Structure 1
């Protein structure tokens, strides 16, 4: 600020103090005649000082008029000098590693850039100060210095709205962010933690309360509707080319007790009279820790031929909100019901395994998730009871899926799945993997494919129609190995579908056809699936 301007501002202050009883103060731009009312003399001085700090280095006070209870302060702000010679203070040079003296054509951008460096380092209330130092070649010389104030770090979180979240979840959030620099990068990371959380949503953007000694982030949470009902009806031919009706019911009860817990009930009937029943319970934070418990019971019955019962108790550790690694046990028993079924054997299995799961949520309601990876290994001891045979067994499993955004409304769903069991003894038909159907190798009947080793991959093009529907076209390729039948067929599947929201949920309709390479394409093998996914 120039000395002349300082003396004139001092004169204003003197005049205003002498007229302390006056109530109205007006700032008038002599060039534009724009009038601005301010509440007191201090505000007027602050405004004129801000002009000098924002490139109006030759602001002049023209006149002060006192009219009754009104004081008019007439000023000329002069030219806005955005092109200037710059002198940086030693502290700015040390911090930014910019040279001390130079010419800039955009002073505003330079000040903003320097200030952002300090903000990113936690000095949220930093302010660049400008001081006029004379002229050179018709341009002003400006010295820039920094007023950093106190450095700010994240000191904690305050939950508003839906506050009955697991304590361990909040402890994990504080562990990840408490003590970190208060900056845009960490604020964005906090927001992303809730952006597509399976149980929570942010009612509004996180807010910050600054006090002299702390920085608190306020989270305005809302509980999501996470219970789901997933029903699928399928139409197709069985092994005898007879038209059959089959279906799947999948009901999930989630976060009913505000602990992020889940209870899943699954039932499926395939065209070949096989039925599957699953009951699964998941408790993510046992005793307010990062250890979770998952219990699963699976029952499969193939008409009146055989029945399998499997129990899978597991403990897992939350690496973070999206990744978990676990240890599980396997207890499985199978009984042959039909004595004429010579391909099967009675057996018992028990063992231990490890597994990993990663789920990256999606911002698109039409998709279940953006990325999912599930992999596991189990070491089992198998006893064939009637034959009195015992053999160790290794099992491997992998599943991966990712929704890739091509551009605009165009997406590509990439999926792969594979599993393998290994033993020194030949496998019986009733212990093989069963796959195929709506969520597997489409175009085949549910659980109609049996193998000791299989894999398949799929590419699915999806075109979104707003946020309410999408078309899809897909192709799949896979292979299975069945040692007991000595077959290694290569398989393919093609199809199309349409998915759209209706008032009760997401409805899906799909046509698909799958076959073995080398076999003729048959239209009567087309599978029709219709399903609904409803949240409540």
Structure 2
């Protein structure tokens, strides 16, 4: 008896599941063969799990017919042929091609309508039927941007016209008063600098309210080093006020950067070390300020000290100030001190312009001056610069996709023998070409040119090393003109590890010794993002154009950048 019971139960369950998995076929036809072809061309779903799915498919199909001009289409019937088959008949009726929409030119600008229609007159415009929904949505969004987020737009008094056209009036309902931002409430990072709201995001009280524009602006928070957007902004409407809520988080923006390099001294054959320390402090006073301190010492017995301060939006104005002090000393030959003061204007989150003064003083330290190319001098330049930065904040390893910096300076160099006009040009740019999620190509260009009638050794530009052409000693190359190309093919193993190639090239001129030369650097490297920061290892070998590779000229550079 028990076996029979289990057998009956098994058969019941088996057939129940077969019933649940049963497919229902749907065939839709028109009143004519031509109408049926139109329906088939819309690509409706012919297989359904149940009757409700069939109803939803028919509703969707009728909406598609309306969008292409069959505004009067009618569902005639739904007939069940058998347990697995249904048929339906739809009468398409007349197809309309165009519509003439009459509007009030005091409510809607003609310039707005020109963006959606090629036929706009003073009191009406013409649209294709298929474009109606998209066009009305666009018009409504334009009205919303003017401070009317609750505006309503619809077509009324629709009538048939000859030649498959329609005529309608455009009805607009808007509140009597525009919506403006009455209050801005910060959530999360409540001490976020107010000047950045006004000048960086360009969001302030009494501004006409437009949520789409505000959401676009607040995404620019992610371009800042010291803050990011937690979630999209929200708004609270009351009868007479509009309160905007911004959700911001303060991020770790201080950075400590350093590297250790070692290689073989060509003269002594001994191992030598060089390196630098670079400290960046950002927004510790909740003002958006930044302070950079750098100390560098290399194997050529050269020391560099830099202090760089940037104070944005002084006195709540769109103007900021950048101050720089740089001291360079080469063994016992000379020291050079640079002092710079610039004002900057943040055009928008990606673009910035600079203007200022750069003063330089260099002193000859040689007690017995047998080197006539080193002498005391002073210069004063008027400088102008432009900067563009395009971030890619989703990538922790490579947060900046592209950057351009251009600077030019015009001034005079003064010595005991008189003064001389000089011009200095600086250029730096880099770009990451993301081939896919793991592979990318990086290229960096940088160079400088000092234009003068005569030159001194202690005013030449210095380059070479990990931040210039790799495979050469730090600041070992002196030039009146130079250009460097750095390239890397990068493979990102994970979100925290990458490996890359090194192929560098450079060209420089030194008019003091009347030489010009081409340089090349080849090697490989890898990066590892740890809790301590970004650890980077580079191995590169440098050579001149007419020299052979020599492994003893190879350089290993190790750096660690820590955010805190």
Which range, TM-score by smaller chain?
A: 0.7 to 0.9
Structure 2 residue 377 is matched with structure 1 residue 348:
yes
Does the CA-based 8 Å contact 1:306-1:338 persist in structure 2? no
* Alignment counterpart, residue 503 of structure 1, candidates 531, 534, 548: 531
Partner of 1:326: 355
How far apart are the structure 1 equivalents of 2:94 and 2:522?
Answer: 64
Alignment of structure 1 residues 244-283 onto 2, 5 Å = 244-283=272-311
Structure 2 residue 140 is matched with structure 1 residue 118:
yes
Q: Secondary structure at the match of 1:205?
A: strand
Does the CA-based 8 Å contact 1:360-1:372 persist in structure 2? yes
* 1:391–1:116 Cα change, 3 Å: same
How far apart are the structure 2 equivalents of 1:527 and 1:92?
Answer: 74
* Alignment counterpart, residue 216 of structure 2, candidates 189, 204, 219: 189
Does the CA-based 8 Å contact 1:393-1:421 persist in structure 2? no
Partner of 2:389: 360
Partner of 2:500: 472
Q: Secondary structure at the match of 2:192?
A: coil
Alignment of structure 1 residues 90-169 onto 2, 5 Å = 90-91=102-103, 95=113, 96-97=116-117, 104=129, 110-122=132-144, 123-129=148-154, 145-150=170-175, 155=181, 158-160=184-186, 161-169=188-196
Does the CA-based 8 Å contact 1:56-1:79 persist in structure 2? no
Q: Secondary structure at the match of 2:103?
A: helix
Partner of 2:440: 411
How far apart are the structure 1 equivalents of 2:451 and 2:336?
Answer: 20
How far apart are the structure 2 equivalents of 1:146 and 1:134?
Answer: 15
Partner of 1:401: 429
Structure 2 residue 213 is matched with structure 1 residue 201:
no
Partner of 1:40: none
Structure 2 residue 406 is matched with structure 1 residue 374:
yes
Over the residues paired in the alignment, what is the CA RMSD in angstroms? 3.8
Q: Secondary structure at the match of 1:204?
A: strand
Partner of 1:170: 197
Give 5+ residue unaligned stretches, structure 1. Answer: 1-30, 34-52, 60-77
Could you tell me how far 1:346 is from its partner in structure 2?
3.6
How far apart are the structure 2 equivalents of 1:461 and 1:121?
Answer: 48
Alignment of structure 1 residues 306-321 onto 2, 5 Å = 306-320=333-347, 321=349
* Alignment counterpart, residue 391 of structure 1, candidates 416, 419, 433: 419
How far apart are the structure 2 equivalents of 1:228 and 1:306?
Answer: 33
Could you tell me how far 1:126 is from its partner in structure 2?
4.0
Give 5+ residue unaligned stretches, structure 2. Answer: 1-50, 54-65, 76-88
* 1:488–1:212 Cα change, 3 Å: same
Could you tell me how far 1:229 is from its partner in structure 2?
0.4
Q: Kindly provide the CA deviation profile for residues 171-191 of structure 1, in whole angstroms up to 9, marking residues without a partner as x.
A: 22575787567263x245303
Partner of 1:64: none
How far apart are the structure 2 equivalents of 1:80 and 1:251?
Answer: 76
Does the CA-based 8 Å contact 1:126-1:149 persist in structure 2? yes
How far apart are the structure 2 equivalents of 1:405 and 1:496?
Answer: 19
Q: Kindly provide the CA deviation profile for residues 49-71 of structure 1, in whole angstroms up to 9, marking residues without a partner as x.
A: xxxx9999999xxxxxxxxxxxx
Q: Kindly provide the CA deviation profile for residues 188-234 of structure 1, in whole angstroms up to 9, marking residues without a partner as x.
A: 53034212212221111122334445555422122121110001111
Could you tell me how far 1:381 is from its partner in structure 2?
2.5
How far apart are the structure 1 equivalents of 2:552 and 2:407?
Answer: 36
Could you tell me how far 1:133 is from its partner in structure 2?
7.1
How far apart are the structure 2 equivalents of 1:87 and 1:226?
Answer: 57
Could you tell me how far 1:90 is from its partner in structure 2?
1.6
Does the CA-based 8 Å contact 1:336-1:344 persist in structure 2? no
* Alignment counterpart, residue 249 of structure 2, candidates 222, 229, 232: 222
Partner of 1:424: 453
How far apart are the structure 2 equivalents of 1:157 and 1:455?
Answer: 51
Does the CA-based 8 Å contact 1:87-1:144 persist in structure 2? no
Could you tell me how far 1:328 is from its partner in structure 2?
1.7
Could you tell me how far 1:391 is from its partner in structure 2?
2.7
Structure 2 residue 540 is matched with structure 1 residue 512:
yes
* 1:442–1:80 Cα change, 3 Å: farther
Could you tell me how far 1:282 is from its partner in structure 2?
2.0
TM-score, with structure 1 as normaliser: 0.74
* 1:173–1:492 Cα change, 3 Å: closer
How far apart are the structure 2 equivalents of 1:402 and 1:284?
Answer: 25
Could you tell me how far 1:523 is from its partner in structure 2?
1.7
How far apart are the structure 2 equivalents of 1:83 and 1:401?
Answer: 61
Could you tell me how far 1:336 is from its partner in structure 2?
1.6
How far apart are the structure 2 equivalents of 1:468 and 1:404?
Answer: 17
